[in-house]
Amino acid sequence: MALRRWVVTVASGRALTDVASALAGHGFTDMQLHDQIGVIVGAAEEDVADDARAVSGVLDVSPEGQVDVGPPDAPLSW
């Protein structure tokens, strides 16, 4: 399986560092913690993301989307 980027939403009142440690134990790598919005972004295989949903404090695990606004002066932005 290939690694994919995931967005993990964490419950308020739960320390992101604690959740990140648990996610790392399941195989998440290359994590970025965004305290202000309660989100962790990291890389994992699909089955690891499924396991992450059972981690205490995890509200949601979703694939990271791509955003492309296009070059300046483009007629469409998406």
- What pLDDT score does 27 carry? 94
Closest CA to 4 of 38, 34, 30: 30
Mean of the pLDDT values across residues 54-67?
Answer: 93
Residue 73 lies in a domain: no
Range of the domain at 42: 4-63
- pLDDT value, residue 75: 76
pLDDT of residue 21: 97
Which 3 state secondary structure label does DSSP give 20? helix
Does residue 23 fall inside a structural domain? yes
pLDDT at residue 45, as a whole number:
94
Quickly tell me which residue has 């469409």 as its tokens: 76
Q: Which domain CATH number covers 33? A: 3.30.70.260
Confidence of residue 23 (pLDDT cuts 50, 70, 90): very high
Please report the pLDDT score of residue 59 as a whole number: 97
Q: Extract the tokens encoding 49.
A: 């993301």
Which tokens hold the place of 76? 């469409």
pLDDT score at 47:
92
Instruction: Report the alpha-carbon distance of residue 59 to residue 10 in Å, rounded.
Output: 5
pLDDT (0 to 100) of residue 70 = 75
